[in-house]
Chain A
Amino acid sequence: METTLPDAIRTGVRDLVLVLADSKRVLGMRYAEWMLGAPELEASIACSSMAQDEWGHARLLYALLRDFGDDVTHIEHGREAHDYCNIEVLDRAAASWPDLVALNALVDTALTIQLEALQESAYAPIRQRVSKLLEEERFHGAHAAAWVSRFARSNPRARDAMADALRQVLPGVLRWFGPDSPSVPLAPAGIVDAEGGALRLRLAERVAPLFEELGITAVVTAPDFTGFDEARRRVSRTGPDAETLARIRGDKNRVFLMD
């Protein structure tokens, strides 16, 4: 158990780990949904590979929750939709390939930026694991960039569809980093090297070239935090749709679940 952290910080770290784990688990599901329907076989394989990575990262992160007294089996298999802390734009499946590429470009990158902020963390268990996760994430960003470039070179209709998908996902992803002055600040405790607005800026800088290729701008406005639950990093009180929930919990395989 990580006993050196003050109680409030410990709760903040636990919430952050759960937010990352849930987001990675649901993102993995969103990739998995395109394993058979991507525009070409190689893209399907890429989705399968990225799904495996995200699910592996989620398991590793869920396992860290044991340090905080959580029942990890319950966390992974026993919660209801409203208990999930995944980034809201993942609540529903990507309706089209540009929508999936937008999740790949923005959500995956936001999770990576949040992990990068933990590279020098005072919370050793995550600091020790984060470089492995980031190494595996390298080609997720490359996949998104390659597809955005392909859309940028494509016909105007395809280019507009990609631009619209990015514009639609961006605000929710920017808000996900939370307020500039969080109620439980983790940066002063050395848990993360930046929070809120600083991370929003890092994301905007990282994805700006993708937007530019499509002839649009990554507009960073101050997010509206009305009703924002800082622990879950969500406004919506619900969670993933019922079908997604059943699949990420492994409901059909419950009979095989052993302690």
Chain B
Amino acid sequence: MVYEVFARKSRGEPLRHIGNLNASDDQLARVYAYNTYDEEKWFDMWVVPRDRLLEVFNRGDAEPPTPARKRAERGEAAATQGA
């Protein structure tokens, strides 16, 4: 499973994305994040499974991510719309 790694240099500073890693579970993901990214003096560090990140929007899209388009991408039939 891919985990995204976030950290910040001091309290109050926004978290920033510093990289990612592969781990089979949360416990190993924490250890690997520390081992891989703790070269700098971080105030705190966080990991989150990539598949738990929810896209709100993406201005790089050719078309706006309307609910109908999202459902179409998931392969859901038009008949289920609004259900």
**Bound: A49/B35 CA distance, A:** 6
Q: Could you tell me if A146 and B35 are in contact, using CB atoms closer than 8 angstroms? A: no
Q: Is the Cβ of B35 less than 8 Å from the Cβ of A42?
A: yes
A41 to B36, CA, bound (A): 10
**Cβ–Cβ contact B36 & A45, under 8 A:** yes
A217 within 8 A of B: no
Question: Shortest CB–CB separation between residue A92 and chain B, in angstroms?
Answer: 25
A residues near B35, Cβ cutoff 8 Å? 42, 45-46, 48-50, 139, 143
- Complex CA distance for A226 and B21, rounded to whole angstroms: 48
Q: Does the CB pair B30–A142 fall under 8 Å?
A: yes
Which residue in A40, A46, A50 is a CB contact (below 8 Å) of B22? A40
Report the separation of the CA atoms of residues A48 and B27 in the bound assembly, to the nearest whole angstrom: 19
Main secondary structure of the interface of A (DSSP, over half): helix
Question: Which of these, B27, B36, B38, contacts A146 with CB under 8 Å?
Answer: B27
Number of A positions contacting B (CB below 8 A): 17
Measured CB to CB, the closest approach of chain B to A56, in angstroms, equals: 13
Q: In this assembly, does B32 line the interface, its C-beta being within 8 Å of a C-beta of chain A?
A: yes
Q: What 0/1 readout, one digit per residue, does chain A (206-239) give for beta carbons within 8 Å of chain B? A: 0000000000000000000000000000000000
A42 contacts B27, CB within 8 Å?
no
Q: Is A177 located at the chain interface by the 8 A CB criterion?
A: no
A139 to B31, CA, bound (A): 6
A-B contact pairs, 30 of them (CB 8 A): A40-B22, A42-B22, A42-B28, A42-B32, A42-B35, A43-B32, A45-B32, A45-B35, A45-B36, A46-B31, A46-B36, A49-B34, A49-B36, A49-B38, A50-B35, A139-B34, A142-B27, A142-B31, A142-B34, A145-B27, A146-B25, A146-B27, A146-B30, A146-B31, A147-B28, A149-B25, A149-B27, A150-B24, A150-B25, A150-B28
Chain B contact residues, CB within 8 Å of chain A: 21-25, 27-28, 30-32, 34-36, 38
Q: List 13 extra interface pairs beyond A42-B28, A45-B32, A143-B35, CB under 8 A.
A: A40-B22, A42-B23, A43-B32, A45-B35, A45-B36, A46-B31, A49-B34, A139-B35, A146-B25, A146-B28, A146-B30, A147-B28, A150-B24
